[in-house]
Structure 1
Amino acid sequence: MAATSAPDAPTGGRHPVDATLPPLRMFTSGLQHVAAMYAGVVAPPMIVGPACGLNATETAFLMGAALFTAGIATLLQTLGFWRVGAKLPFVNGVSFAGVTPMVAIAKSQAPGHALPVVFGAVMVAGALGFLAAPYFSRLIRFFPPVVTGTVITLIGVSLLPVAYGWAQGGGEQSSQGGSLTNLGMALFTFVVVLVLRKVLRGFLQQISILLGLVVGTLVAIPVGITDFSPLAHADLVGFPTPFHFGAPELDAAAVISMCIVMLVCMTESTADMLALGRVVDRPANERTIEGGLRADTLGSLVSPLFNGFANSAFAQNIGLVAMTKVRSRFVVATAGAILLVMGLCPAAASVISLVPLPVLGGAGVVLFGSVAASGVQTLASAAMDKGENALIVAAALGVGLIPIAAPGFYDGLPKDLLVVLDSGISTGCVVAVVLNLLFNHLGRRRGEEGLEKAAEALSGTEDHPAPAHPSASTGQEGSPGRPAEPADGASPPAQATRAR
């Protein structure tokens, strides 16, 4: 069976998600997660800091605070307490969804007040999101495989441009086209990762991404694109002083803007939890979603205390879990602890920052492509030949890809709408959910349901029920080629959990 052949197959009745690994494997696997997410965590403060008038030193402080608060949020997700935390290998960090509105808030405020207003808005949005989490989680029944598969595919495809930008060198270089050196290093790292995945076995294969980053960074030194200056100027110890930039301030427009961002983050996190649940063979049910959203929003509520921003799921790490098949949440908890140390020790954070962006981009293509492949795999179980499921996927992908295919498509609309529309994941998710509701719930007549059941009976599906346990290797809830799902794609993950 595929489940028992996985590197972290359950032993003694314990699910791999709840299993612990030897200390060395725990640390190196956790470090690999940190390497995959590091650039995504520090990028928002690198944009928001200068927009708020911060100098280089203050922006570096903001980056350390982002790492520290990402560690707190990740520990809340993986370890949890009470009914907080998805208790899945779920990585949290600063959400990109908040960058545009935070920059807009900064431009509308007097000097010295931008960050306090941002922090006040994030805290209010986090508190309201925490209270709304139990109600938001009930929407899980509207996320069958036809929806989740579409959203997972969009997550992977939406992340690929980030990897391409890294491969070109990031910043202004990515808009001017990558140099031969940068693209060459990205291609070299890409090939190294693939070769390592092919030739290595066991634990070394699981950390092939980390090994590829190390090899790429070492080769980049003589090439001349490795920057050692952050390490030379980094302090050994640096605690993110609470309210370093001033006490939070409340502004109605800023609060409304960040509440919209929080809804976007909750939508994306819900989709990510459903995707991760399938990857680790523990389908996310309503309680899992509720706990995960509470961890997201509580992390966002606490984050401004230490000068951080709103936190949400990091989809790129789902691809890492899918590729390595290391499903232990304690590995990701170790990554959270590493992030905490990096936030307290700028010198440690600088070691990770030595990885050049082109090297990170080469590995990112493999990581993010794995997420998209996982979405396609989920769609394979979504009964695309039934009802209007193919139309749902076509429409949702078409709308969700607009920000990627035509980046300036929505520029003429009010800026407040761009918070939602510029996220292809969010718009694609909304379209998929609404169309699934219209075509597979409200649009179905009793007569159609009766004819469907009769057709299934004649085809023998009732004589051959689908297995209760989803396949660990494919993430499908039924056997390929056998119509074991209703017209909306499959039974919700909550039902699959109960069947287990």
Structure 2
Amino acid sequence: MSVQRGTRSAAERHPVDQVPPPWQLLAAGVQHVAAMYAGVVAPPLIIGGAVGLSPLELSLLIGASLFTAGIATMLQSLGVWRIGSRLPLVNGVSFATVAPVLAIAKQHGTQQALPIVYGATLIGGVFVVLAAPYFGKLTRLFPTVVSGTVITLIGLSLFPVSIGWISGTNASAPDYGAPRNILLAACTLVIVLLCNRFLRGFAQRISLLIGLAAGTLLAWPLGAVHASSLAQAPVFSLVTPLHFGAPQFDVAAIVSMLIVMLTVMTESTADMVALGEVVDRPAGEQTIAAGLRADGLATAVSAVFGGMACSAFAQNIGLIALTRIVSRYVVAVSGVILLLLGLFPVAGGVVALVPHPVLGGAGIALFGSVAVSGVKTLASADLTVPGNVLIVATSIGIGLIPIVAPGFYHRFPPMVQTVLGSGICAGAVVAVLLNLLLRGGKQRDPVTDS
């Protein structure tokens, strides 16, 4: 007879459910925030600039995004009833929403854009909550050969982010590919590797945080640390509902957002499958449905508080694979930190001191760990079967198209670009379809919830 989870001793609990000592919770939680902070603030920065927000309004938009990311992360990791995967899954603003938001701003003008965006986001969040139990059944379509392919693609698709942090994203900028930036990235990467090699215990597990701190200290005398964001940031800023206006509902905007949310759901499902493999707790149908409900509810709440659509952050899966700290309570603490960063922008300014080249150097090891997890999963699949080889080869090839050639689908309709423009989503869809076509859906794994 199985023992009820609530009566298990700490030693008998799955590592995901174990609670580390308080100081380890805090240090590991800060490490998660440092790894994903740039990804959370980048979409509101882009969107805020596109709709012409003032510096004060832009800080409020960023604060709302951090605040709602904290709520989403706590909801996802801790769970309430049937909401939340109860996995160490960090949630934040989805980059997939940037393109449709910019299209809405172009069509409706900057003054009306955000209320229309929030109306579409609210409907999109409700849609995800309602569709979650049906979408959760997709776990049956993710056998080892498919999940391993998707996990590998997640890691590979994140490398351009890391390289962009190092070199810059504007090739015409004077500091694009500057030797100083490459040197900082290389030093940070070496520090992370040395910490992993020579440190032991918990110190080894926070090697990324040590590398980020050391890299920032090295960057300071080189003039790569800009403290202006810290000096200008207000100490406290209350996140107020409907600050940017009450939601307005536009049919075209809602349709485009629903398509985006389907993409977000596909990526989140792939991320949960990947994370389940990394932490040795397979994400079954109920887990995925609960995780998607958390995504949807958090997205709807974000629309009220001025945030954006929420989804899983793949880079934090790499952090877990690298550090082997799998406790979901660590991620819950990172959610609390994100929430506080949203309320205290000056604290966010401290995190923002980490230069992008330093983040990029750490990201090489971080994102590579995700790809390695995918390769490890593929190693357990039978790649002597020709059908399996074709599934992996074709899916990775198609998934890499938007990564190596971002403008490849620019002549396609916007709705098609939304799906195919995500390497993770495109690769996942192709892998699932090829598995059904070439293998008839065979080699499914007995994935069940514990």
Tell me if TM exceeds 0.5. yes
Cα gap change, 1:43 to 1:211, in 2 (>3 Å): same
Structure 1 residue aligned with 2:447: 493
Paired residues of 1:45 and 1:66 also in contact (CA < 8 A): yes
Task: For residues 329-348 of structure 1, give each alpha carbon's deviation from its aligned partner in whole angstroms, at most 9, with x where no partner exists.
Answer: 00000000000000000001
Task: For residues 33-58 of structure 1, give each alpha carbon's deviation from its aligned partner in whole angstroms, at most 9, with x where no partner exists.
Answer: 00000000000001011111112221
Structure 2 residue aligned with 1:393: 392
Query: What does residue range 325-336 of structure 1 map to in structure 2 within 5 Å?
Result: 325-336=324-335
Structure 2 residue aligned with 1:51: 50
Structure 1 residue aligned with 2:41: 42
Give the secondary structure class of the aligned counterpart of 2:92. strand
Structure 2 residue aligned with 1:294: 293
Shift of the alpha carbon at 1:387?
4.9
Give the secondary structure class of the aligned counterpart of 1:149. helix
Q: CA RMSD in A?
A: 1.5
Aligned length in residues:
442
Question: Within 1, Cα distance between the matches of 2:174 and 2:443?
Answer: 40
Cα gap change, 1:111 to 1:161, in 2 (>3 Å): closer
Cα gap change, 1:359 to 1:290, in 2 (>3 Å): same
Give the secondary structure class of the aligned counterpart of 1:93. strand
Larger gyration radius, structure 1 or structure 2: 1
Structure 2 residue aligned with 1:357: 356
User: Which consecutive unaligned segments of at least 5 residues does structure 2 have?
Assistant: 1-8
Question: Within 2, Cα distance between the matches of 1:399 and 1:77?
Answer: 30
Tell whether 2:346 aligns with 1:347. yes
Structure 1 residue aligned with 2:4: none
Question: Within 1, Cα distance between the matches of 2:202 and 2:144?
Answer: 31
Larger relative contact order, structure 1 or 2 (CA cutoff 8 Å, min sep 6):
2
Give the secondary structure class of the aligned counterpart of 2:110. coil
Shift of the alpha carbon at 1:312?
0.2
Paired residues of 2:141 and 2:444 also in contact (CA < 8 A): no
Question: Within 1, Cα distance between the matches of 2:307 and 2:89?
Answer: 19
Query: What does residue range 202-351 of structure 1 map to in structure 2 within 5 Å?
Result: 202-351=201-350
Tell whether 2:90 aligns with 1:91. yes
Give the secondary structure class of the aligned counterpart of 1:388. helix
Give the secondary structure class of the aligned counterpart of 1:401. helix
Give the secondary structure class of the aligned counterpart of 2:158. helix
TM-score by length of structure 1 reads 0.86
TM-score by length of structure 2 reads 0.96
Moved over 2 A (4+): 169-177
Question: Within 1, Cα distance between the matches of 2:153 and 2:348?
Answer: 31
Paired residues of 2:90 and 2:313 also in contact (CA < 8 A): yes
Question: Within 1, Cα distance between the matches of 2:176 and 2:443?
Answer: 41
Q: After the TM superposition, which of the residue ranges 306-315 and 104-113 deviates more from structure 2? A: 104-113
Shift of the alpha carbon at 1:87?
0.2
Question: Within 1, Cα distance between the matches of 2:170 and 2:297?
Answer: 32
Query: What does residue range 339-488 of structure 1 map to in structure 2 within 5 Å?
Result: 339-441=338-440, 488=442
Structure 1 residue aligned with 2:6: none
Shift of the alpha carbon at 1:416?
2.4
Structure 2 residue aligned with 1:123: 122
User: Which consecutive unaligned segments of at least 5 residues does structure 1 have?
Assistant: 1-9, 443-487
Give the residue type in structure 1 aligned to 2:52: G
Give the residue type in structure 1 aligned to 2:275: L
Question: Within 2, Cα distance between the matches of 1:176 and 1:217?
Answer: 18
Shift of the alpha carbon at 1:81?
0.6
Question: Within 2, Cα distance between the matches of 1:39 and 1:221?
Answer: 19
Give the secondary structure class of the aligned counterpart of 2:82. coil
Structure 1 residue aligned with 2:164: 165
Give the residue type in structure 1 aligned to 2:79: G
Question: Within 2, Cα distance between the matches of 1:397 and 1:258?
Answer: 26
Shift of the alpha carbon at 1:175?
10
Shift of the alpha carbon at 1:60?
1.7
Cα gap change, 1:175 to 1:274, in 2 (>3 Å): farther
Question: Within 1, Cα distance between the matches of 2:23 and 2:238?
Answer: 27
Cα gap change, 1:267 to 1:175, in 2 (>3 Å): farther
Cα gap change, 1:255 to 1:172, in 2 (>3 Å): farther
Query: What does residue range 125-144 of structure 1 map to in structure 2 within 5 Å?
Result: 125-144=124-143
Cα gap change, 1:387 to 1:492, in 2 (>3 Å): farther
Question: Within 2, Cα distance between the matches of 1:312 and 1:173?
Answer: 32
Shift of the alpha carbon at 1:234?
1.1
Question: Within 2, Cα distance between the matches of 1:168 and 1:58?
Answer: 29
Tell whether 2:91 aligns with 1:77. no
Cα gap change, 1:250 to 1:279, in 2 (>3 Å): same
Shift of the alpha carbon at 1:388?
0.4
Shift of the alpha carbon at 1:12?
2.7
Give the residue type in structure 1 aligned to 2:360: G
Give the secondary structure class of the aligned counterpart of 1:60. helix
Question: Within 1, Cα distance between the matches of 2:376 and 2:57?
Answer: 44
Question: Within 1, Cα distance between the matches of 2:444 and 2:369?
Answer: 23
Give the residue type in structure 2 aligned to 1:252: V
Paired residues of 1:28 and 1:207 also in contact (CA < 8 A): yes
Task: For residues 101-128 of structure 1, give each alpha carbon's deviation from its aligned partner in whole angstroms, at most 9, with x where no partner exists.
Answer: 1111111113311000001000001101
Give the secondary structure class of the aligned counterpart of 1:384. coil
Paired residues of 2:140 and 2:444 also in contact (CA < 8 A): no
Shift of the alpha carbon at 1:415?
2.0
Structure 2 residue aligned with 1:61: 60
Cα gap change, 1:165 to 1:173, in 2 (>3 Å): farther
